[in-house]
Amino acid sequence: MRRKVFFLVLLWIWAYLGLVSSSAVGQKSSVQWEYLLEKPSWGMIEWSSATLPKGFWYPSFEFMYVYNGSYFVSGKEVDYPRGRDSTSYMITGRLLYGLSNKFTLGVYIPVVLDQKVDTGGLYGKSTKEKSGVSNVGDVQFFFKYRMVDRYFWSLAPELGITLPTGQPYNKVSASQAGTGDGQTDLNFAVNGDILLTEESFIKLCTRFVYQFKREYRGTLGELINEKLGNSLGMDLGFVRNFKNVGIGGDLQYTWWQATKQNGDITQDRQQGDLFNISIRLSLGEPTPRKHGKLDFALDFPLTGKNAPSTYRFGISIKSIFK
């Protein structure tokens, strides 16, 4: 409980400092801010390839509800055996900083506040149990470089590393869900945007994640090398910005391959893929004059193979200041 309170207080202090800093710079001329955060790349919903102007900070923190109660087998969604499912409540923090007008540094920190796991009970009755896991998830550091910056289109590669700071599933009990995968990941993505009108654009993204193997001892003491999977993904989205509202949606596809070795023998090599939809609604305006914005996000799966069917709903507060 003390850990939960600590992270909540820390995040709210972060929010307060962001709003105070935004108020302090709010006296500057609107012409200056519009020049530094110029449209169309910095509309209600910014371009995926947008980078911050030098010296600007962009903090955001999100309250997220995550539910997983089924998985896909060859395109068909089925329930887990004995009705096992999990519900998580999380707070995530993301902080971006404009190192220059073309380079943006970032850090992403997920914190699991509470989890409930349906373990399955007698006569088909399920029993909700608190997992007892309240912990930081896997922390990610990344940077983005705006390589091509044109008025009608833009391109920005992104490179990052995800550290195994969360608790993997083999470190918690059977009635608990892990807060991380226990592996170090290298993340690479290329983000692109194409302007359609002054207030609408197409988002494109290709992403690749390389996972390092992790070693642990099995139930019989054997040494197991496990790799939960390199993944390759592609996103296609559309965004329409209005004066104080932005609406967008992405179709996302992800493919991955997992391996598991017992000694020198490969026991399992499994492939999976997933199609899902991400919908976003943004209210406000992310400029220092307006102090920030409020975002609503909904992710839901469409179909897949050997993939979890996970639903997410999030509400986030964002602010930009210098």
Give the pLDDT confidence of 287-308 residue by residue, as tens digits.
555 567 899 999 999 999 888 8
Query: Is 276 in contact with 309 (CB distance < 8 Å)?
Result: no
Position 179: which residue type?
A: T
The most confident of 64-78, 110-124, 199-213, by mean pLDDT: 199-213
Q: What six digits make up the tokens of 203?
A: 């988002």
pLDDT exceeds 80 at position 24: no
C-alpha–C-alpha distance, residues 285 and 40, integer Å? 13
C-beta separation of 285 from 43 below 8 A: no
Say which residue, 174 or 216, is predicted with more confidence: 216
Contact predicate 143/104, CB 8 Å: yes
Q: State the DSSP H helix or E strand holding residue 9, giving kind and residue range, or none if neither.
A: helix 2-25
Confidence bin at 223 (pLDDT 50/70/90): low
pLDDT band at 15 (very low <50, low <70, confident <90, very high): very low
Q: Are 145 and 102 in contact (CB under 8 A)?
A: yes
Using 50, 70 and 90 to split pLDDT, how confident is the model at 262?
A: low
170 or 243, which is more confident?
243
Reading the block at residue 144, the tokens are 């983005």
The total number of structural domains in the chain stands at 1
Beta bridge partners of 159: 143, 188
Give the pLDDT confidence score for residue 261 in this predicted structure: 57
Instruction: Using pLDDT thresholds of 50, 70 and 90, give the confidence band for residue 168.
Output: confident
CA angle 22, 27, 29 (to 5 degrees): 110
pLDDT at site 160: 96
Min mean pLDDT across 108-112, 123-127, 265-269, 317-321 is at 123-127
For 27, counting Cβ atoms within 10 Å of its Cβ (0-12 exposed, 13-18 middle, 19+ buried), the class is exposed
With a CB cutoff of 8 Å and minimum separation 6, the contacts of 135 are 3, 111, 112, 166, 167, 179
Q: What pLDDT, on a 0 to 100 scale, did the predictor assign at position 220?
A: 64
Amino acid at 125: K
pLDDT at residue 120 tops 80:
no
pTM: predicted TM-score of the whole model, two decimal places: 0.80
pLDDT tens digits, 33-58: 445 666 678 878 889 999 998 988 99
Domain with 303 in it: what CATH number? 2.40.160.40
Residue 270 confidence class, pLDDT cut points 50, 70, 90: confident
The pLDDT value given to residue 185: 92
Rounded-to-integer distance, Cα 96 and Cα 109, Å: 12
pLDDT of residue 319: 86
| Residue 127 confidence (pLDDT) above 70 | no
Instruction: Identify the pLDDT of residue 198.
Output: 85
How much is the mean pLDDT over the chain?
78
Q: Of how many residues is the chain composed?
A: 322
Range of the domain at 160: 2-318
The string of DSSP letters for 173-200 reads -TT---SS-SS-EEEEEEEEEEEEETTE
Quick one: pLDDT at residue 272?
86
Which stretch of DSSP H or E encloses residue 16?
helix 2-25
Q: H-helix or E-strand containing 282?
A: strand 265-285
**Higher pLDDT among residues 83 and 1, named by residue:** 83
Q: Which residue has the tokens 């380079």?
A: 103
